[in-house]
Amino acid sequence: MKIPQDFVLGVATAAYQIEGTRFGDVGPSHWDSFAAQGGTIGRQNGDVACAHYEKWLEDLDLIAHGNFDAYRFSVAWPRIQRDGREAPRAEGLDFYDQLVDGALARGIEPHCTLYHWDLPQALADKGGWENQDTAKYFADYCAHVSDRLGDRLASVATVNEPWCVAWLSHFLGHHAPGKRDLSAAAKAMHNILYAHGLGAAALRDLGRKDIGIVLNMEYAAPATDREADRHAAAIFDGIYNRWFIEALTKGAYPSDILEHLEPHMPVGWQDQMQTIAQPLDWMGLNYYTRSIHADDGTGIFPFGQTQIGPLPKTSMGWEVYPEGLQYFLERMHRDYTGNLPLYVTENGMALHDKVADGGVDDAQRVGYFRDHLAAALAARDAGVPLKGYFAWSLLDNFEWAFGYSERFGLVHVDYDTQTRTPKESFRFFQNLR
Please check whether residue 220 is in contact with residue 291, taking contact to mean a CB–CB distance below 8 angstroms.
yes
Which 88-127 residues touch ligand FCB, going by CB under 6 A? none
Cβ nearer to ligand FCB, comparing 73 with 428: 73
Cα-based angle 342, 72, 37 (whole degrees, multiple of 5):
115
Work out whether 131 is an interface residue with ligand FCB (CB under 6 A). Answer: no
* 14 interacts with ligand FCB by CB under 6 A: yes
CB 193 within 8 A of CB 247: yes
Which residue's CB is nearer to ligand FCB, number 129 or number 408? Answer: 408
246 is catalytic: no
**Of residues 164 and 292, the one with the C-beta less far from ligand FCB:** 164
Tell me: does residue 408 bind ligand FCB (CB under 6 A).
yes
Which residues fall within 8 angstroms of residue 350, CB to CB, at 6 or more apart? 314, 315, 316, 318, 399, 406, 407, 408
Quick one: which of 161, 218, 319, 396 contacts ligand FCB (CB under 6 A)?
Answer: 161
Considering the complex, state which of residue 53 and residue 400 has its C-beta at the smaller distance from ligand FCB.
400
227 is catalytic: no
To 10 degrees, the CA torsion angle through 49, 426, 374, 291? -30
Instruction: With beta carbons less than 8 A apart as the criterion, state whether 219 and 328 touch.
Output: yes
Among 279, 150, 131, 245, smallest CA distance to 195 is for 131
Instruction: List, in order, residues 6 or more apart from 94 with CB less than 8 Å away.
Output: none
Query: Of the candidates 121, 286, 314, 326, which one interacts with ligand FCB according to CB under 6 A?
Result: 286
Phi-psi region of 288 (alpha: psi -120 to 50; beta: other; left: phi over 0): alpha
The CA distance from 360 to 43, in Å, is 27
Give least dist CB 2 to ligand FCB, A. Answer: 27
Q: Which stretch binds ligand FCB (CB under 6 A): 132-140, 157-165, 259-267, 365-373?
A: 157-165
Which residue in the list 19, 109, 161, 399 is annotated as catalytic?
161
Does the footprint of ligand FCB cover residue 138 (CB under 6 A)? no
**Which CB atom, from 131 or from 347, has the smaller least distance to ligand FCB?**
347
Residue type, 348: G
CB of 46 to ligand FCB, least distance (A): 12
- Identify residues 203-222 at the interface with ligand FCB (CB under 6 A): 216
Query: For ligand FCB, which residue of 282, 392, 426, 429 counts as binding (CB under 6 A)?
Result: 392
Of the candidates 160, 169, 291, 425, which one interacts with ligand FCB according to CB under 6 A? 160
Among 164, 165, 192, 344, interactor with ligand FCB by CB under 6 A = 164
Q: What's the min distance (Å) between Cβ of 258 and ligand FCB?
A: 24
Which one of 130, 346, 399, 406 is the catalytic residue? 346
User: How far apart are CB 257 and ligand FCB at their closest, in Å?
Assistant: 20
Q: In 54-210, where do the E strands start and end?
A: 70-74, 109-115, 155-160
Contacts of 229 (CB under 8 A, 6+ apart): 222, 223, 293, 294, 295
Toward ligand FCB, which CB reaches closer, 276 or 391?
A: 391
Tell which residue, 142, 121, 103, 133, has the closest CA to residue 35.
Answer: 121
Burial readout 154-186 (b: 16 or more C-beta within 10 A, e: otherwise): bbbbbbbbbbbbbbbbbbebbbbbbbeebebbb
Among 346, 353, 362, 396, the residue binding ligand FCB under the rule CB under 6 A is: 346
Q: How far is the CB of 352 from ligand FCB (least distance, A)?
A: 15
| Binding of residue 347 to ligand FCB (CB under 6 A) | no
Residue 313, helix vs strand vs coil: strand
Residues that are catalytic: 161, 346
* Interface ranges with ligand FCB (CB under 6 A): 14, 17, 160-161, 164, 216, 286, 346, 392, 399-400, 408
